[in-house]
Structure 1
Amino acid sequence: MALFGKAGAAISSRTLRTYRQGIARYLDFAQVRAVSLLRPSRDSGALYIRTLEAEGLAPSTVQVHLAAARAFYKALRWAGVTDSDPLADLSPAPDNTAPWDKRQPYRDDELLCLLGYAGLRDRVLILLCAHGGLRISEAVALKWSDVQLSAAQMTVTGKGRKVRNVHLSASLKNELLLLNEQTQPGGQEPVIGATQTAARQRLRRLCQESGVRYLGWHAMRHYAGTRLTRQTGNLEHAARHLGHSSLETTRIYAKWADDALNEALEGW
């Protein structure tokens, strides 16, 4: 994938891990169902899709597994060991749940509650995601050399090694100043210094202590996009802040930021 994939050498370790897991799942399916890898039957691809759906996997998860299986057969065809493409022109059942109904951002009161229970380092991590709009992978990879406190901005390397400059909110800048004074770090030291797994465990524990529902770190990024869209009414501002290459990706925040329907129904 690093050689022929769209991302090339910039492909992330997380993507590679996801594809390895997806291929392993397809190999398990082939073994259980006695599907020949090199000469699969014409209905084996459809059977694999229905098997995944029957397991109750979300449509997006099914799509990820299919992408891995397609990459596997693309590699086999490149190696010249088969001409088969059992998943060609196949797609899973459509997802009838709107994106804005599946993934919700944290509410203002929930974020304030989490910040009230968090220590300094966790407050910085929360604000990197909830104010800076960083993905958790971006937040834990951030180094002090990426942060320009005097200019109130940071340089973030995101998906596909894309680099963007992110403005610091006043709250985030203040917490970063406190952490910097407390730790006296070197330029190449990480701001947070944790793995993504450890960060998720810390957030889950913090949610349990505070009584806030656990939505994961990405809901912090959703919070940033939603709040910025509500405050400015401008999707382009949110897209630039979050590093979205397309406004279509950002459009979901307009749904979450629109309180008009709820406000109208409250008076009924």
Structure 2
Amino acid sequence: MDAVAHQLRPLLDRGDLRGALDVLTPLLPGQPGSATHLNVLSGLRVYLRWLEETGHALLNVSDSQARDYSAWLAAAYAPATHKNRLTQVRWLYDLLQHHGLVTDNPFRRVQGALNHAHDHRPVYSPDDIARLLQEANPEERALVLLGAHGGLTGPEVRGLTFEDIDFAHGKIHVSGRTVQATEALMGALERWGHQRGHTALFRATGPLFDLPTPFQLRKKLHFLCQRADVTYRAWHALRHAAGLRLLEPGLNAQTRQAAQEHLGLHSDESLRPLVKLKKASTPL
């Protein structure tokens, strides 16, 4: 048993996956602190969280476990990210195999999703959103509508505070812009805010949601999609739904400008993919 295996074995025997990752971190691809190194580390943390949540083992890895993880990635991420995350786990098992801790790397036999061009702009349809809202609890309803009506990004939603919301005038102040909320969105925010202690007499402060990491936001949306029997798509698919909703009146210059301002886009070019998506979804 080499020095790395000698350090890892007791950590893994007691289920300390994070301690094991600390030992492996200096051995991962890329210079420490580089974008490559940090991205691989991030991908492995995603895998370790998945192991903890599903009860799978790190070392007793099988072909079915590799397929299960690939299927979960396919549901949770865009095709390019799916492929990257699989590559990162392949590196992990190559490393463990090199140090004699596993004898096989089944992730070498699992392929990522094909990166089709039409997958680059996924969107939740109006029917999808209606089904999500039908199944949603107050928190999930507020989250879905912040994306599908408010057009907020995932980081904007996670960072949203009570101070950012003008309940009296139906406005949300975020990332240097003001978003005019729909009646449905404000109703959802008021109901969720009430559960968090916000009333007309007592104004709550601080974070609107307890979602410190992107993973937790993805997890909430993923579980809601499962309950509603809706195909999971990443958060930006809700934002794209908001964009299509804003472009519903037509594709004239005024509507495009209003959509651009609502979504916080800074150029006509950045709106162009949504315009193309709108044209593709409009019957001839």
What is the TM-score normalised by the length of structure 2? 0.56
Quote how far apart the aligned CAs of 1:129 are.
1.0
Task: Identify the residue that residue 134 of structure 1 maps to in structure 2.
Answer: 152
Distance 2:37 2:238 in 1: 31
Q: Quick one: which of 230, 251, 263 aligns to 1:242?
A: 263
Q: CA deviation at 1:211?
A: 1.1
SS at match of 1:230: coil
* C-alpha distance in 1 between matches for 2:141 and 2:39: 38
Contact 1:154/1:165 (CA < 8 Å) preserved in 2? yes
Instruction: Choose the corresponding residue for 1:170, options 162, 183, 196.
Output: 183
Residue in structure 1 matching 2:36, options 13, 19, 22: 22
SS at match of 1:258: helix
Question: Structure 1 residues 25 and 107 mapped into 2: Cα distance closer, same or farther (>3 Å)?
Answer: closer
1:112 correspondence with 2:130: yes
> Within 5 A, what are the aligned runs for 1:103-252?
103-157=121-175, 163-185=176-198, 186-195=203-212, 196-233=214-251, 234-252=255-273
Q: Structure 2: which amino acid aligns with 1:177?
A: E
Partner SS for 2:248: helix
Describe the SS at the equivalent of 1:263.
coil
Q: Secondary structure at the match of 2:274?
A: helix
Compute the displacement of 1:20 (Å).
Answer: 3.9
Structure 2 Cα separation of the partners of residues 176 and 24 of structure 1: 35
Distance 1:58 1:199, change over 3 A: closer
Is residue 143–residue 187 contact of structure 1 (8 Å, CA) maintained in 2?
no
CA shift, 1:208, in A, is: 1.3
Alignment TM-score, normalising by the size of structure 1: 0.59
- Alpha-carbon deviations, 1:93-115, whole Å to 9, x = none? xxx965x5522211000011011
Q: Is the 8 A contact 1:227 1:257 kept in 2?
A: no
SS in 2 for 1:155: strand
Alignment of 1:26-37 (within 5 A): none
Q: How many residues align?
A: 179
Per the TM alignment, residue 237 of structure 1 is displaced from its structure 2 partner at its CA by: 1.1
Task: Say whether the 8 Å CA contact 2:121–2:273 is kept in structure 1.
Answer: no
Amino acid across the alignment from 1:106: Y
Structure 2: runs of 5+ lacking an equivalent:
1-32, 41-78, 85-114
Which string of whole-angstrom CA distances, capped at 9 and with x for unpartnered residues, describes residues 177-206 of structure 1?
Answer: 212223224543211221321111111111
Alpha-carbon shift at residue 231 of structure 1 (Å): 2.7
